[in-house]
Amino acid sequence: MAVLADRLLPKNKLTRAIWFGSLLMSVALLMLPLLFKLDGRPHTDWEQFLGRFHPLMVHLPIGLIVLVPLLEIAGAFRPALREAAGFVLGLAFVFCLGALTLGYLLAYGSGTVGVVMTRHMWGGIALSIAVLLCVLARPWWSIGAVPRVYPAMLTGLLLLLAWTADQGGSLTHGRNYLTEYMPVSLENIFGGRAVQANAPGSGSFYVKQISPILDANCFVCHGEGKVKGGLRMDSYNLLMKGGKDGLAIVPGSPEKSLLLQRVTLPSSHKQFMPAEGKPPLKPEEIARIKAWVEQGASPIATTVAGISTSNESAELPLQPVADYSSVLSEIQQIDKGQGAKLVQVSSKPSDGLILNTVDVAASFGDAQLAQFQKFAPYIVEAELGRTAVTNASFDALSRFTHLRALHLEGTGVTGDGLAKLAPLSELTYLNLSGTKVTAAAVASIGSMKNLRHVYLYNTPAQPAVAMQTIARNTQ
């Protein structure tokens, strides 16, 4: 076979140069992680800027590599397609180098490390070399010199592509992205789902309230597979250890805890977390973390003063509201103004509206709230946090008959008149953190049987009152 190959493909200077150049390129790719070691520290902005084009570039070689075996098979019937396969394979190699370069810039520039990150990096390097070997082997296969080697290499290339792409998907969506909704029958075959390592007791506030928030928002970038800034948050011990920028959690000091500093920055800020376009944490999630940190960030405490919520109880089915189509033109006119907004929950009018005051919180008071009573039957959530509303607002809010969630955190309410909300049978969420609400006021809403989540962080109200209220409602 070697004699036949020498006869059909003579080893002239050009051929030797191609093989030698390919060898040097392969060695350079293998040396890349050693020459530019991922040290877990962020580097220059331009590296991150260019690196963020990696998700766009990476889909090009994937599509081209998958196309090659299809062209080779179809080429058995239409020879012109087989000729195109060689060009597509060479193009795939060029784009592999481009995607690998951008991906490395992204990891190096952002200081991202981790097990899955390392696997994805080596997968990309191996994939580029494998495509190059296929490019070199194909001419020999096309003349019949090595009839089985090239097809075997293509098969291995596709398997390597699938594995590397899976590692990349785990970096973006988390390690359980493909298995999160796996049927039980398949879970039994593949060994079930992974259990978080080093987790404190299952009944602790950390496990039931804090860890789920971190899991949903932080583990993708700060977990076992991907560790940005040297910070891992997928276990209590690692979270408390902190990262290269300092301690994520400082027990007793929310203001010194980097986690709370970053999640409360403006979303446009360079250091805002969660990063990469992910939605910010909800106010109630921040409230839980802040209260937990201020009270010592314990891994075993089962309750946190000022935060009372029952996640074990089944949530009530959402009730449809009246059709607001008749006042849709007025709603749209409000949205065009500079004041509070009425945001549609969905395209279905029966899903209701959300009263949003974020942009005008400081100037939004009782008089402004009263102007929205016309739309009260359609409003399912009122975001009044940090507004100028007072106890007088309870009269207007009592007419929001379909209200499910009410944000009053950081307002001037003391709870006098809070009992006027008792008829709101669909209200399940009430945030009064950072107010002057009293224990007596909270006790006055004990008859609200559907109230599931009450937040009283940094208030004079005794936590026990809220706990008793919730306990009665979930029995």
Compute the mean pLDDT over every residue in the chain, rounded to the nearest whole number.
Answer: 81
pLDDT at position 17, please? 78
Query: Residues 265-288: what's their mean pLDDT?
Result: 83
Q: For residue 180, what pLDDT is reported?
A: 56
Residue 96 pLDDT > 90, yes or no?
Answer: yes
pLDDT for 232 beyond 70: yes
**Residue 300 has what pLDDT?**
84
Q: Which of 156-170, 198-212, 224-238, 422-436 has the lowest mean pLDDT?
A: 198-212
Residue 19 pLDDT greater than 50, yes or no: yes
In the predicted structure, residue 2 carries a pLDDT above the cut 60: no
Which range among 152-161, 241-250, 309-318, 332-341 shows the weakest confidence by mean pLDDT? Answer: 309-318
Res 188: pLDDT: 52
> Which one is predicted more confidently, 440 or 257?
257
| pLDDT one-digit tens code per residue, 195-216 | 343 445 556 888 888 988 887 7
Residue 385, Cβ density class (10 Å: 0-12 exposed, 13-18 middle, ≥19 buried): buried
Rama region for 114: left / alpha / beta (φ>0; ψ in -120 to 50; rest): left
- State what percent of residues in the chain have pLDDT above 70: 84
Average pLDDT over residues 286-292: 90
Of 300-309, 364-373, 414-423, where does mean pLDDT reach its minimum? 300-309
Q: What is the torsion angle, in degrees rounded to the nearest 10, for the CA atoms of residue 56, residue 59, residue 60 and residue 61? A: 130
- Residues 466/443, Cβ–Cβ less than 8 Å: no
Residue 343 pLDDT > 70: yes
User: What burial class does residue 264 get, using C-beta atoms within 10 Å of its C-beta: 0-12 exposed, 13-18 middle, 19+ buried?
Assistant: middle
Please determine, for residue 432, whether its predicted confidence score (pLDDT) is greater than 80: yes
Mean pLDDT score, 38-56: 82
pLDDT over threshold 90, residue 394: yes
For 165-182, the pLDDT digits (tens) are: 888 877 776 555 566 556
Count Cα atoms within 13 angstroms, Cβ side, for 224. Answer: 9
Across 441-463, average pLDDT: 77
pLDDT at position 191 over 70: no
Q: What is the mean pLDDT of residues 385-393?
A: 93
pLDDT band at 3 (very low <50, low <70, confident <90, very high): very low
Above 90 in pLDDT, residue 377? yes
Q: What is the mean pLDDT of residues 255-274?
A: 87
On the 0-12 / 13-18 / 19+ scale of CB atoms within 10 A, 454 is buried
Question: At residue 453, what are phi and psi to the nearest 5 degrees?
Answer: -125, 115
